[in-house]
Amino acid sequence: MLIPRFSLRQLLAITTVSSLFCYIIAMATRGHQWAIAITLAISSLLLTLVIHAIIFSVAWLLTLFGGSFSKQRVAVSPFANATPPPQLVTPPEDNE
């Protein structure tokens, strides 16, 4: 599907939230301490999300393209031998 589906309710909610945030930023530029605190808190949360997204993208790209530079490893079980392991305790034998 090329066009994402948004309802009118979702678009109005996004518009309302962004207008409230812009109003808080406007109050912060006028010098209100509560607006400055809210603006800094929301901005720091958004900055944290952006930094995590960038770090995830870099790590993801390294896993996509980093494997071509390293030697391919073959999965081998460390317990697979040609002979069974030695028995530490000899099992009891039945005398019948």
For the stretch 22-60, pLDDT in tens is 999 999 999 999 999 999 999 999 999 999 999 999 999
CA-based end-to-end distance of the chain: 76
**What pLDDT does 1 receive?**
57
Pair of tokens at residue 9 = 């309710």
pLDDT at 70 exceeding the cut of 70: no
Tokens 């948004």 belong to which residue? 6
| DSSP for residue 82 | S
Against a cut of 0.75, is the pTM above it?
no
Distance CA 43, CA 13 (A): 20
Q: What is the CA radius of gyration of the chain?
A: 31
